[in-house]
Chain A
Amino acid sequence: MFNYLLKRIFYAIPILISVNVFTFFLFFVVNTPDDMARLHLGNKHVTQEAIDNWKFERGYNKPLLWASELDGVKKISETIFFENSLKLFLFKFGQSDSGRDISFDISKRMWPSLAIALPVLIVGICLTLTIALFVAFFRATYIDSTGVLICVFMMSVSGLFYIIGGQYLIGKMLKLVPISGYSEGLSAVKFLILPVAIGVISGLGNGTRWYRTIFLEEVNKDYVRTARSKGFKESQIMLSHVLRNALIPIMTGVVVVLPSLFLGSLITESFFGIPGLGSYTIEAIRAQDFAIVRSMVFLGSLLYILGLILTDISYTLVDPRVRLN
């Protein structure tokens, strides 16, 4: 187990490095540091000297990949690539192009993201499971087919409309919750209700249909038939046998996304004015703050790989037949 984990982690490092190389080329080769400097220094009275100074401070005046005039290790270490990409591995995200410390901002902003994403996940799973179980219970009836149709319908509506419509209806027309905003602690609840509800509802169609498929797969398995022949009630079978066994694929599916919950949701957060990582990323994209986007790409890949490893572990925990090596 331990060896396996170690192997996985060692396997992750080259992946992260190549992610870095990839994003580095995307950012620095197309967009020169001069362009970035101009963008961030504003428009009035900008001199070339100020630009050089700005670049000097961020180390953008160094060569991109290879410092040919220096010797030894410095050929590699005194470059923009080394300074800006490899330091990410130490979680030193450095300064954003606008001058704030990125690590600090990330550590502050991941909590609001989590405050939305976690309830959406938990409430979403509970609700989806209930409905899917309900629909699967009535399989091959009109309730089932209408249920599936409604699910497909809900899937076909763009998430944007859930957000725009939800805010308009609940926030503006019915005046039940504040339209947007956020606050720390307990009083955050009134701000979170609407985005969480919208998040749950927009994921309902897809989730229900998926879980229903999983349930139906289980229902047709032999052990269920056996149970049925033993004279268990249908509702009992659904709740104890089917649900318990279907939870394995469902939970492993959840574990993958668990680490990525920190990243938040781009559109919801910016629409409801929630200071999470999602809106952080959007702001960075709109302000063309490449340092932040680069850090977020790295963080995202890292969390994704973490999710994969967690999934493997959870497989062994849930199903003792699987052994990792």
Chain B
Amino acid sequence: MQIVILKTDFLFFLLLAGIFLYSLFVFKDKQLLDVWRQVFRKPLAIASGMVLFFYLAICLLDSIHFKHLANNEKSQEITSVLDSLFEPISKQVETTYSAPFAYSSFVKETILNDDGSVAREFPRLKFGGSHLIDPESDYWPDIWISLIYILCMGFVFWLVLLFIYYFFSYRSRPKSVISFVNVVLVSSGSFKVFWVTLLGFCLLFSFLFVFAGHYHILGTDKVGNDVLYQSFKSIRTGVLIGTLTTLLALPFALIFGVTAGYFGGWIDDVIQFLYTTLSSIPGVLLIAAAALMLEIYMSKHSDIYMSVVARADLRLLALCMIIGITSWTTLCRYVRAETLKLREMDFVAAATALGATKLRVIFRHVTPNLMHLVMITLVLDFSGLVLAEAALSYIDIGVDPSMESWGNMINSARLELAREPVVWWSLGSAFFFMLFLVLAANIFADSTRDAFDPKTND
């Protein structure tokens, strides 16, 4: 086994490291810590923060890639940790559509009987519900028993977590177990929301754990791939587009914004001209044009054979960059305005008077004070970018078609609505997976902005 770090993986790790450093910074700075406490004071913000954390964790699992080097076979296949977690499911490919929790195919198939006659019927699935001996009678009992099992398991899991917390929360350990339960159940606000959400996650995990082995929880798509697996794989694409785009745009926005704001004069004019030009090109068209060119460029240089994963990864990165180019101008404008303000501040003037060089002033005094802007932009842009990915993939200028993404799922599933009876699960899964992420991001962003920018807070 050999660890493979793709380009986007690297950037994502960089981002996580950045977040980690920032949180260290926050814990040192009392004022900032207060602001962040404010963010998490709203119950909804806690729940959405946890959902976001969940998505980030999945993304992280899906970003640790490795190659199997078994059997001396030179295999190009690159898999991720998430893939191995989903191992049985991702390999359980049916022939075609099957509904969620189905044990037989959604589509009739021609079956050649032993006597040579041909029948057209719904065949049993190869994997979904294959443990049922007589599906007609065993199906519902199996589902009910599993559900009860899930409830118990989820609760037990949750209680275990609760007790672990109880024993380790030495700082404010309640006097007795009963008073602890009281705290959890009766206490209002963040603490309770946290544990209720956690209960939800526990139930969800046990649900996935119990059912995923036996059924296709969200059905299968046209070529029989598990939709649940696809939806989970799409998380990485969505999260990466949402975060890396801003991350890639960040250096440009910061450097140009700060230089323009701090130095002024002709530098300011040139930079202003640059971003007015870029922002005057309609974003979609720019992305479309660049994506077209990228495709041509890549196919021109396809002779250097790359693995499918690496190619898709490169395209994802390129897409992030292109969207980044169209979106850095807004941040740049904010940064410039803020720098203009900061330049006139007393502490900057004092530093200059004390003989600090310009570079030192910029790095020591100006840039750190811009970080909250960056933070707000990162969070605020996130949801819009996730939605944009879906729309772009829909018009064929998004991520590589071989890559799982919600946009690709919608794109390949839109014809399914013309079927009778309608195939809704692919679209539905993409809808809900996206909805939860974007909703959580939006609520979290609201809360963040309110905390950092108290003007709009009412």
- A interface, CB within 8 angstroms of B: 14-15, 18-19, 22-23, 26-27, 30-31, 35, 139-140, 152-153, 155-161, 164, 168, 172, 213, 216-217, 220, 260, 263, 266-267, 270, 281-282, 285-286, 288, 290, 293, 296-297, 300-301, 304-305
Contacts and interface: CB of A to CB of B under 8 A. Distances in A.
Nearest to B294: A30
A15 B442 contact: no
Interface residues of B, number: 40
Contacts of A139: 458
Contacts of B394: 160, 267
Interface stretch (B16-24, B33-41, B79-87, B383-391): B383-391
B296 A27 contact: no
B390 A301 contact: no
Contact of A30 (B293, B406, B410): B293
Contacts of A161: 410, 427, 431
Contact of A158 (B279, B390, B395, B446): B390
A19 B391 contact: no
Interface in B437-455: 438-439, 442-443, 446
Contacts, number: 116
A24 to B, nearest CB: 11
Given A293-B288, A301-B282, A158 B391 contact: yes
A164 B280 contact: no
B285 A296 contact: yes
Contacts of A35: 296
Interface in B274-296: 276-277, 279-282, 284-286, 288-290, 292-293, 296
Nearest to A286: B396
Given A152-B443, A158-B434, A160-B390, A267 B417 contact: no
Contact of A164 (B284, B292, B427): B427
Give chain A's interface secondary structure class: helix
B456 interface: yes
B11 to A, nearest CB: 24
A183 B435 CA distance: 36
Nearest to B434: A158
B423 interface: no
A297 B285 contact: yes
A161 to B, nearest CB: 6
Interface of B: 273, 276-277, 279-282, 284-286, 288-290, 292-293, 296-297, 383, 387, 390-391, 394-397, 406, 410, 414, 417, 427, 431, 434-435, 438-439, 442-443, 446, 456, 458
A207 B251 CA distance: 31
A156 B438 contact: yes
Given A213-B456, A266-B395, A305 B280 contact: yes
A168 B289 CA distance: 31
Contacts of B435: 156-157
Given A30-B297, A290-B292, A300-B285, 5 more contacts: A15-B273, A30-B293, A159-B391, A161-B431, A304-B279
Given A158-B391, A285-B288, A22 B431 contact: no
25 contacts: A14-B273, A26-B290, A27-B289, A152-B442, A152-B446, A155-B383, A155-B438, A156-B383, A156-B434, A157-B435, A158-B431, A160-B394, A161-B431, A168-B417, A216-B456, A216-B458, A260-B282, A270-B395, A286-B396, A288-B292, A293-B289, A293-B292, A296-B285, A300-B282, A304-B280
A83 to B, nearest CB: 19
Contact of A297 (B273, B289, B395, B439): B289
Contacts of A220: 458
Contact of A301 (B280, B427, B446): B280
Nearest to B388: A158
Given A168-B417, A281-B285, A19 B396 contact: no
Contact of B281 (A30, A267, A301): A301
B189 to A, nearest CB: 16
Nearest to A23: B289
Contacts of B277: 15, 18-19, 22
B442 to A, nearest CB: 5
B390 A267 contact: no
B442 A156 contact: yes
Contacts of A23: 281, 289
A300 B326 CA distance: 14
Contacts of A155: 383, 438, 442
B286 A297 contact: yes
